[in-house]
Structure 1
Amino acid sequence: MRAWRPRVPGVREVLHARMTDHAYPAHAHADWALMLVDEGAVSYDLGGRARIADRSRATLLPPGVAHDGRAASRADGFRKRVAYLDASWLSATLAGAVVDRPDRDDLVAETRMLHRALATPGAELAAEGMLVELSGRFAASPGAAIASVRDPALALRLRDLLEDRLVDGVPLAEAGRLLGAHPAHLSRSFSAAFGIPPHRYVTGRRVDLARRLLLGGHPPGEVAAAAGFHDQAHLTRHFRRVLGTTPARFAGSGARATRA
């Protein structure tokens, strides 16, 4: 079992666990619990109904509603990931609808992306943006499209704020307070205006900054911190994704061109 508190606004705790014989007694949480099952299956009771959670669905448990849990097959046990999200993540009025349908097979991919981001140092802004989008998806009827939000003036103000705080970063929750807008409205307005979510914009701009620093002769380890990346591995991962090469090779190509 591993548990930690990521630096993502609204995330109380993340738990990864492998269980075989343990059975959770009936209990309730103060937070929303967003669970993925990676191996095996979990048998649980919620709202007076017996249910099964497995790899084919994402499971959301509402605050204040009792549930239990056990391996559907003791021979196999189960492995799960759970993100405990602040009670304000979704409206309390949705608790009844979630009890009626806690398991969502249409949101598995998005939930897996969120859990990967929560477990990746340096991906805090990405995780926060995914949480914003998932809140809208869980609040909507299954299969319903989330309407695009157009507010170009607000999108430009957010872009300016992201540029001003490019290296240190600014969480969407803080940006919302500074700009007087809900984080979901901020994120969707930005995506509508610029074609990418805020975290991808920030990553691309940080890669731009890293390129300039590398060509200026700074070593990759120093560039990672100066450009706002968590560490050199974080820089290398995104640099390779954007440019198809590593920071060291990119810097080397600049040095060779100078000598030539």
Structure 2
Amino acid sequence: MGSPDTAPGQNVSAWRPRVPGVVEVLHARFTEYAYPMHVHDAWTLLIVDSGAVRYDLDRHEHGTPHDTVSLLPPHVPHNGSPATPGGFRKRVLYLDGTHLPEDLVGAAVDGPDLRDPLLRRRVGQLHAALAEPGDELEAESRLAFVGQWLRERLRDRSRSAGRASAPRRDPVLARRLRELLDARVVEGLGLAEATGLLHAHPAHLVRAFSAAYGIAPHQYLMSRRVGRARRLLLEGAAPSQVAAATGFYDQSHLTRHFRKLVGVTPGRYAATAVKKASSSTGARS
């Protein structure tokens, strides 16, 4: 049975380990829940332990069978839904640019799903190390190997495609709007103000952004806000505080968008982090 904050068949656990480069660890099981289009400000390294996920990235459909490691780059919209009747169980690492620089985004967009049994096993071992308090050095070492493998594979792919590694090319207007949204995640940005600052017609501005990134400006902004909310919740902040700190109108506004993008309420999400911290404290005592 699911908790009052989750639908039946859904289970989520998330925490932020003391390992440089790892923004968040997420373990989840979903039977019917489907993620809408959204973005992350971190690299998403995903493995599926049972079932399969289908998702769209840069307007192309992809899938994640159990022997695949998927690497989704930051700021590129994607969704996700079960591809098998029983849903899926996944483990995800959100990584900053320490191990994966932004100049590899283009290669990751071209081929996010990596079929390599050794890499799959190493990512699983990394998750195991991250779950055990006191094993931070092992986790850092395993992450270093995984990061090196991914960098080499993506750079090889760029060379074989006959191009130098480069950031994903974006239309100038769309990029300028994204920069404005990134700078005003909490304060927000109205369309009228954006068009005045960028000297563009409102409809043209929205079309340019959507064409470049595959997501509407308001969806992008909400994704960024929810991303910040996740970090604050894992640090122990209360949902009411998080709502105010991340630009939502109130806690119910946060809850509605958080549940839509993450699959559980902020309270349930925070509770998993508390439970993880408690079990770690007990293991050390």
Q: What pairs with 1:77-96 in structure 2 (closer than 5 Å)? A: 77-96=87-106
Confirm or deny: 8 A CA contact 2:57 2:79 kept in the other structure: yes
The structural deviation recorded for 1:232 is 11
Report what 1:132 is aligned to.
144
Distance, in Å, in 2 between the alignment partners of 1:13 and 1:233 is: 21
Change over 3 Å in CA distance of 1:231–1:30 after alignment to 2? closer
**Secondary structure of the equivalent of 1:141?**
helix
Confirm or deny: 8 A CA contact 2:74 2:105 kept in the other structure: yes
**Correspondent of 1:113 among 125, 129, 134:** 125
Report what 2:112 is aligned to.
102
Report what 2:27 is aligned to.
16
**Secondary structure of the equivalent of 1:88?**
coil
The structural deviation recorded for 1:89 is 2.5
Distance, in Å, in 2 between the alignment partners of 1:77 and 1:232 is: 32
Structure with the bigger RCO (C-alpha within 8 Å, sep 6+) is 2
Report what 2:60 is aligned to.
49
**Secondary structure of the equivalent of 1:109?**
helix
Change over 3 Å in CA distance of 1:43–1:124 after alignment to 2? same
Instruction: Name the larger-Rg structure.
Output: 1
- 1:167-194 CA-to-partner distances (Å, cap 9, x unmatched) read xxxxxxxxxxxxxxxxxxxxxxxxxxxx
The percentage of aligned residue pairs carrying the same residue is 48
**Secondary structure of the equivalent of 1:97?**
helix
Confirm or deny: 8 A CA contact 2:99 2:148 kept in the other structure: no
The structural deviation recorded for 1:233 is 7.4
TM-score, length-normalised on structure 1?
0.53
Distance, in Å, in 1 between the alignment partners of 2:50 and 2:80 is: 15
Would you say how many aligned residue pairs link Structure 1 and Structure 2? 148
Confirm or deny: 8 A CA contact 1:21 1:77 kept in the other structure: yes
The structural deviation recorded for 1:231 is 9.2
In structure 1, stretches of 5+ residues that fail to align are: 145-229, 235-260
TM-score, length-normalised on structure 2?
0.49
Q: Which runs of 4+ in 1 moved over 6 A?
A: 230-234
Distance, in Å, in 2 between the alignment partners of 1:56 and 1:86 is: 24
Q: What pairs with 1:104-183 in structure 2 (closer than 5 Å)? A: 104-106=114-116, 107-141=119-153
* RMSD between superposed Cα atoms in Å: 2.2
Matching residue's letter, 1:77:
G
